Chains A and B, each alone.
Chain A
Amino acid sequence: MMKNTNLPSGTRDEFGIEAEVKETIQNKLFKTFRQRGFRKLTTPVLEYSDVFKPLSAEDYRPYQLLDDQGEPLVLRPDLTLPVARVMSTTGIELPVKWYYGGDVFRVKKQLSGSYNQLTQAGIEIVGYKGLKADWECLEVALSGCKSMGIENVTIELSHAKFVDTLIEQLELPDPTKDSLKQALFAKDLSKYSQLSQPLSDTQFGRFLGEWPWLFGNFDTVMAVVETLPEIDGLQSIITSLKSTAAFINQLFPEANVTLDLSIPSPQSYYTGMAFRGFTDKSAGYLFSGGRYDDLLTNFQNVKTSAVGVAFDVDALVERTSLPDDQPGALIFFTSDQWQQAEETLAKVPNSTLCLTDSFESAQRLAASSNSRLIDLTKSR
């Protein structure tokens, strides 16, 4: 059967006001990135599938195809790893600040209502070790939402190393540690409480009882963390989280800062703080990012500091109230009046040339599209 009138499941056309709002949002973001001194980096949609090896296959099933040599290619399922590929192969001098925008492609379950082509726009800061780089990402993320008029943003902080650092300290056999971690990440409370039961009378007891619920209000979560005994490596994590929360509270007092210490690192290459933003109403995250100093080690032997954040542009569009279609104006003219028509077009907002030959059809068009008709032939 010919399929020339169908779209593949999971794809969509975008047109009219929605497509325009999306373009406006993208341009606004790009402009802010440029104003902050970021440079544009555009990578191809097609890449060798090896570039994306570090991604967990469950979350990012890519579309695959073969090139003419039989090498497996994918439509990029992510925009950060291509940046890492560029950085590790071009010898660009560090530090550097990139911004990018484009579509990523992920195979979604057929007929589930999810889209497989998602638009992202984001930044990567490469070569800065300190928290200041993390904070610039947060600044970009939160001021970006603010400039879109998105209010009541909740920003959730987490840390890629917290869970492992803590589990390491527990007196459990290694396989149990691993099962406990999996149960914690899956929030499988039934299994978790069974596995953590033997430690309930230890100095970790209070903390372990709360751990699967250890997300939400920053101070409440921190209060539970403070019941922990002193642990090597944990103090620096806590300090960085606290100073970051203070930073956000100072610059964005209206943002709601939460902390989640019960989730896995977003990807294996994350090494430090991770964060994501959402609102009460959104069905998905508005932005997500973090520090991934191990990102480039997938391509080269040397570690390179990197931190970034990406907006889910489609989620931003969804949260933006679409402007009403303004009634426009149609400019009717004869072909020898072209210059005059151009002048009118430039003067009258929301106007467009009416390309009909007869005045009657121009009138009909104006009536059906609810537009005002400007008739230049009368002024001859």
Chain B
Amino acid sequence: MERIKIALTKGRTEDQVVPLLEAAGINCDGIRNKQRRLIFDEDPRYEIILVKGPDVLTYLNNGSVQIGIVGSDILTEQENFQYAMLDLDVGKCRFVLASTKNFNPQAHRRKIIATKYPNITKRYFQGIGEDVEIIKIEGSVELAPLIGLADAIVDIVETGNTLRENNLQIYAKLQPVNTKVVVNRLALRQYQPQIKELIANLENANQQMVQSKLIKE
């Protein structure tokens, strides 16, 4: 049987998803002790590659991998058209509109918004009928309103600590974000039984994780 190739977002998503993969019966010893490797084939059924979030979709859309595990922020921003089949209860956070205390959301002027996510920002402001100037920033978006580059930012917030530490506050909550399992449309047909099994195992592992968290709380 041919191996199913999975592209996993490296970094925080990887750290949170690996325990789930293990709970679903997938050998992740290689990823836990990876050194400089990027391809992991410890489990005979799967080949897991570690890539950056936006690249997960590039590999998936080209059919180079069958499955991607990536945040919904990236799926929305990149206008994903593959099957986002399963929600995992990890990587949960939210898009927010944030700025300094002096920001007035009702001000009658064309606001300047800094963000790493121009598409999501555009859609949000289109939705509320406002036209804004969007500036794309690659990182440390919090700086933009502090330094005077932008009136406000649209960014992902998990705990809100970074915002507070930078004296920023939330003015609007946008859509929630979580990690999703995405499947290439054609691959789902080519590898139906294997993918069905993997999804079912991951779904179980996810439910068990949610339940054990509830018990702890």
Q: Which of B58, B83, B196 is close to A112, meaning CB atoms less than 8 Å apart?
A: B58
* Mask of A44-63 contacts with B, CB within 8 angstroms, 1/0: 00000000000000110000
Contacts A186-B84, A187-B83, A213-B196 given: A284-B189 contact, CB under 8 Å? no
* Mask of A12-56 contacts with B, CB within 8 angstroms, 1/0: 000000000000000000000000000000000000000000000
A154 near B186 with CB under 8 A, answer: no
B192 near A215 with CB under 8 A, answer: yes
Cβ of B27: which chain A residues have Cβ within 8 Å of it? none
- Which residue of the partner chain B has the closest CB to A185? B83
Q: A231: shortest Cβ distance to chain B, in Å? A: 26
B85 near A189 with CB under 8 A, answer: yes
CA gap between A216 and B84 in the complex, in Å: 19
- State whether the Cβ of B188 lies closer than 8 Å to any Cβ in chain A: yes
Q: Which of under 10, 10 to 19, 20 to 34, or 35 or more describes the interface residues of A? A: 20 to 34
Q: A187: shortest Cβ distance to chain B, in Å? A: 4
A-B contact count (CB 8 A): 49
A189 near B199 with CB under 8 A, answer: yes
- State whether the Cβ of A226 lies closer than 8 Å to any Cβ in chain B: no
- Which residue of the partner chain B has the closest CB to A191? B87
A285 near B186 with CB under 8 A, answer: yes
- Which residue of the partner chain A has the closest CB to B64? A283
- State whether the Cβ of B140 lies closer than 8 Å to any Cβ in chain A: no
B62 near A190 with CB under 8 A, answer: no
CA gap between A156 and B185 in the complex, in Å: 13
* Mask of B51-86 contacts with A, CB within 8 angstroms, 1/0: 000000010011100000000000000010101111
B85 near A280 with CB under 8 A, answer: no
A contacts, CB < 8 Å to B: 58-59, 112-114, 154, 156, 186-191, 213, 215-216, 258, 260, 278, 280, 282-285
B contacts, CB < 8 Å to A: 58, 61-63, 79, 81, 83-87, 183, 186, 188-190, 192, 196, 199, 203
Could you write out 5 A-B pairs with CB less than 8 Å apart?
A58-B81, A113-B58, A113-B62, A278-B189, A282-B186
